[in-house]
Amino acid sequence: MNYSNLKIEIKESIALLTINRPDKLNALNRKTVEEIGSGMDELTADENVRGIIITGAGEKAFVAGADISEIAALDRETGRKFAAAGQAVFDKIEQCPKPVLAAVNGFALGGGCELAMACHMRFASENARFGQPEVNLGLIPGFGGTQRLPRLVGKGRALQLLTTGDVIGADEAFRIGLVNEVVPQNELLDRCGRILKTIFEKSPLAVSEVIEMVNKGLDLDLAAAEKLEAIRFGHICAGEDKAEGTAAFLEKRKPKFSGK
């Protein structure tokens, strides 16, 4: 599929999805959000893709925010629809059964921070900057920011960022748990690639089950989440990957997983 505001490259089972509006600091307009959704559908369905890296074109921005000219024209109903559409696309990222990593280079503000938070893991270059500055515009985040941020960094820190609109650097984002690692900018994509290749050595079925269980469990109380975990544990015990993995361990060899 051809995209206007995205670039997709696939190499060694890794898909690199790049938001490609560098002249606009990769700001998210409707078309870009729609293309991200289509891109995720394409890559999720592609059996040759085992992991995805999302990044922004250029060195200045991952995604600097939403397209304010579009936001300015929204009213009650169009605003609700705009937010719901963005949430649906970002939910596709979070619910993807394949690992999705954000490679955050430069500004990740507003919708950009929300996009990064929808990914399963976040890796930041030393020049990365994070924030939810919507209150400066008389707005609140609309693509899941008020919900994912407290789940990642805790209620107090989330409320501080959400109500002040402060922008924080990569080191502070790492300190509060918003990002997994901070690396030099010229090593960012390589680091993400190495993480994915490590994951590729594991059972694809187990990896997808882990992603699903973490996502579902966060919305349940502990007892219900553990009950669901036990059910899924039993299910995976009947799979070929479990048989191969345990046999390989006992035979002191490297497993050859089939994803079944």
Catalytic residues: 114, 134
If you count them, how many residues does the chain have?
260
Q: The tokens of 85 are what?
A: 């559409």
Residue type at 140 in one-letter notation: I
Name the token pair of 213: 């269980």
Distances (CA, A) of 49 to 64, 174, 184, 227: 27, 28, 26, 31
Maximum CA extent, the chain: 64
19 near 6, Cβ under 8 Å? Answer: yes
Three-state secondary structure along 141-189?
CCCCHHHHHHHHHCHHHHHHHHHHCCEEEHHHHHHCCCCCEEECHHHHH
- The rounded distance, in Å, linking the Cα atoms of 33 and 30 is 5
Lookup result for tokens 């997983």 = 257
Strands 129-131 and 167-169: antiparallel
**Quick check: 26 and 65 in contact, CB under 8 A?**
no
CA angle, corner 26, sides to 156 and 51, nearest 5?
75
Q: What is the DSSP letter of 95?
A: T
Q: Which residues pair with 125 in a beta bridge?
A: 183
